[in-house]
Structure 1
Amino acid sequence: MQAIEEQFRLAIVAASAAGTPLRLRGGGSKDWHGQQLEGDVLDTRAYAGIIDYEPTELVITARCGTPLAEIEAALAERQQMLAFEPPHFGQGATIGGVVASGLSGPRRAAAGALRDFVLGAVLMDGRGERLAFGGQVMKNVAGYDVSRLLAGSLGTLGLILEVSLKVLPLPPREVTVAFERAEIAALRLLNEWAGKPLPISASCWHDGILTLRLSGAEAAVAAALRSLGGEVVEPAQAALFWTAVREQRHAFFSGDGSLWRLSLPPHASAVILKGRQLIEWGGAQRWLKLDGETDAAGAQRIRQTVAASGGHATLFRGGDKSVGVFHPLAPAVAQIHQRLRLSFDPASIFNRHRMY
């Protein structure tokens, strides 16, 4: 692996000297995510393998090119999991791409986001230097928790060589139940249930049906079932349903057009926008599916409407990316963002223009 790492270093040093952009890429399962792709591909898949996994310590450390499926299989053997349920979006997903994309699945509202499970990381910066961050090695510089900042950075801060993640045991029991509810009624129930000690590990509302997943001890799940009611979904069908939501294979996501991801306070009422919606995370994540592309004026209307409710909007898939994929940053935040990036990548070679 040292030879592969040296190849990475030489490529990065040469690119920085020439000012040539590099496109950090694992399996390419999330090439569509973010702004434009630019630069020569630096393929990370050869730098693979689980470095350390101690089930009793609930920590796994792996190299960036390690397939996500390999990590999930190793954890499943010991009845453990990545609790943030990262989407694969393709067979080639690697753990480096998982961290760089920062995406979490249906269990995020109950267990936490991907960044909450990043304990440490090893990064190769734009100078070709190997930097280690997190509790295992050294204190993060400048007051930033750098290992967690890598989550969702889309490779713009550097090449993630290794990552250490906290894992959790699989719940003893899981049951999925469904209710017929209109959108506003479903949001009201989700907020009401959020204030109660219920073992809700996932929620999804679409087309008049509110679906909940209950996870935890046998007694806790049984008590919740008695309290909530609803129609119990057959286990195999439930597993297919939550996988389809996580991987965006649910019928809602099919078809052409643009897909917007709306991040909102869970208590926000129904957001009136043209298009179809699917609601997750107890109301905090709402997907908006439009039949056609969104022009600049349309994107501004969506973002203004969502901002008025205390949230922000991302053009997740499809559509015209010239309107800006990510919600515009406030000027002060944009300056911090730029200074942070240049501190790690002075020549701005890593995934240039991928975020803003």
Structure 2
Amino acid sequence: MAHLPDPSLNALRDSILAAVADRSRLRIRGGGSKNGLCTATADAAVLDTRACCGILSHEPGELVLTARAGTPLAEVEAALAELGQALAFEPPRLSAEGSTSGTLGGAVASGLSGPARASAGALRDFVLGVQALNGKGEPLTFGGQVMKNVAGYDISRLLAGSWGNLAVLTEISLKVLPVAPAEATLQFALPQQAALDLLHNWGAQPLPLHASRWQQHAEGPLLHLRLRGARAAVDAAVQMMTSNHAATLPDQAEAVAGWTACRDQRLDFFTRTPASGHGLWRLSVPQVTPAFDLPWPTLVEWHGGQRWLWAPCDAATAASMHALAASVGGHAMLWQLPAQEAAQDCTRHAPLPDVLQRIHHQLKQAFDPHGVFAGGQPF
């Protein structure tokens, strides 16, 4: 087999071919910031992608950046920030504060988006093209570096959120966006359903809504609403919203720190388990879903589309969570465990419908016929 243009790519391919020959399994890992979300088999060897790194090109005028998958996410965001640009989908950096362990490939493979998801779009919406190695060590190229370049299936976006089940990402091209010229955060003391109603009402109007989060604090319920856009649009929205509803404007630095902590799950809500044996559940539901009448601590994002709950990790609660989410057309996931042993009788993901199971099986056979990759997450 011909040599690939970079030594790090040859090393990755050699590891894949060795696993095929040995009938062993590999767990793809970049910085390891999402290890807690993966349920890969314990005997899978680590395939480290961090040597495959570096920003290959950045065309500010074209709003396109291309980098190797092992490039630290912090390096990518710093390079964009120097030119007043950013990753619009705000990928969560799920490592300790100040850590730079997360990689661009890990962000894309997980497919996770931050607080701006409901307004800016999902991570996969910004993936223009990828290069990867499949489960036979073959190099694959999908998409490119412009938006309108796909004829047939958009495989590059399929690999976004595939959790390393199908291929090893080696190079990624992303659409980036300019940083908005103006931003403001408003706070409203509202119960959850009133906050959702207000968000749905404003969402139907031409307002620069960008992100929202609702939480029950010790001092009462609070809706945080972030506005971003042109200065005139943000100022007009602030004036309209505050004239019709009682609101406060927190210090801008405090507000930015709060949104960053929400993005990276460093808010007290995420870091302090409220009760022994409770885990963090993530419910992805339609935005118009009414507030759930549940007794557990809750945080709501994405204008109602993403709901976090601290609830028990047991078989009965898992069944009720999956059934509740499915009843409104969504799905639930046990995101964070209180202890590894607590998951033994708790289903982290509901089984996929038969049709989707068949599609996933066929994709796995096409990309990884030898079953080399142990991604551990449904994609």
In the other structure, the counterpart of 2:303 is 282
Q: CA deviation at 1:355?
A: 3.5
Of the three residues 294, 299, 313, the one matched with 2:318 is: 299
* 1:97-138, Cα deviation, whole Å (9 max, x unpaired): 000111100111110000000000001001111000014599
Of the three residues 38, 50, 57, the one matched with 1:34 is: 38
Q: CA deviation at 1:354?
A: 4.0
Q: Partners in 2 of 1:70 and 1:7 — Cα distance?
A: 23
Q: CA deviation at 1:298?
A: 1.3
Q: Partners in 2 of 1:115 and 1:75 — Cα distance?
A: 19
Q: Partners in 1 of 2:211 and 2:115 — Cα distance?
A: 5
Q: Partners in 2 of 1:185 and 1:301 — Cα distance?
A: 25
Q: CA deviation at 1:310?
A: 2.1
| 2:322 partner letter | R
Residues 314, 343 of structure 2: 8 Å contact kept: no
In the other structure, the counterpart of 1:156 is 165
Q: 1:132 to 1:20 in 2, by over 3 A?
A: same
Residues 126, 350 of structure 1: 8 Å contact kept: yes
In the other structure, the counterpart of 1:4 is 8
In the other structure, the counterpart of 1:209 is 222
Q: Partners in 2 of 1:61 and 1:202 — Cα distance?
A: 27
Q: 1:140 to 1:224 in 2, by over 3 A?
A: closer
Residues 271, 306 of structure 1: 8 Å contact kept: no
Q: Partners in 2 of 1:70 and 1:255 — Cα distance?
A: 29
Q: CA deviation at 1:2?
A: 1.4
Runs of 4+ in 1 over 6 A off after TM superposition: 137-141
> Percent same amino acid among aligned pairs?
48
Greater CA drift, 17-26 or 164-173: 17-26
Structure 2 residue runs of 5 or longer lacking an equivalent are none
Length, aligned pairs only: 353
* Residue 79 of structure 2 corresponds to residue 74 of structure 1: yes
Matches within 5 A, 1:41-56: 41-56=46-61
* Residue 356 of structure 2 corresponds to residue 333 of structure 1: yes
Greater CA drift, 172-181 or 144-153: 144-153
Q: Partners in 1 of 2:83 and 2:332 — Cα distance?
A: 38
Q: Partners in 1 of 2:366 and 2:137 — Cα distance?
A: 13
Q: CA deviation at 1:254?
A: 2.2
* Residue 259 of structure 2 corresponds to residue 242 of structure 1: yes
Matches within 5 A, 1:1-356: 2-38=6-42, 39-90=44-95, 91=99, 92-136=101-145, 143-207=152-216, 208-229=221-242, 230-256=247-273, 257-290=278-311, 292=312, 294-319=313-338, 320-322=342-344, 323-355=346-378
TM-score (norm 1): 0.95
Q: CA deviation at 1:352?
A: 4.8
Alignment partner of 2:36: what SS?
A: coil
Q: Partners in 1 of 2:352 and 2:201 — Cα distance?
A: 32
Residues 204, 211 of structure 1: 8 Å contact kept: yes
Structure 1 residue runs of 5 or longer lacking an equivalent are none
Q: 1:10 to 1:139 in 2, by over 3 A?
A: farther
Greater CA drift, 327-336 or 167-176: 327-336
* 1:266-320, Cα deviation, whole Å (9 max, x unpaired): 1111112331110001000111112x4x112210111111211221111111154
Q: Partners in 2 of 1:315 and 1:83 — Cα distance?
A: 26
Alignment partner of 1:70: what SS?
A: helix
Q: Partners in 2 of 1:203 and 1:125 — Cα distance?
A: 38
Alignment partner of 1:12: what SS?
A: helix
Alignment partner of 1:240: what SS?
A: helix
After superposition, the CA RMSD in angstroms is 1.8
Alignment partner of 1:232: what SS?
A: coil
Residues 23, 41 of structure 1: 8 Å contact kept: yes
Q: Partners in 2 of 1:342 and 1:139 — Cα distance?
A: 26
TM-score (norm 2): 0.90
* 1:12-47, Cα deviation, whole Å (9 max, x unpaired): 011012220001111001001132354111111111
Q: Partners in 1 of 2:375 and 2:259 — Cα distance?
A: 34
| 2:294 partner letter | L
Residues 133, 139 of structure 1: 8 Å contact kept: no
| 1:83 partner letter | A
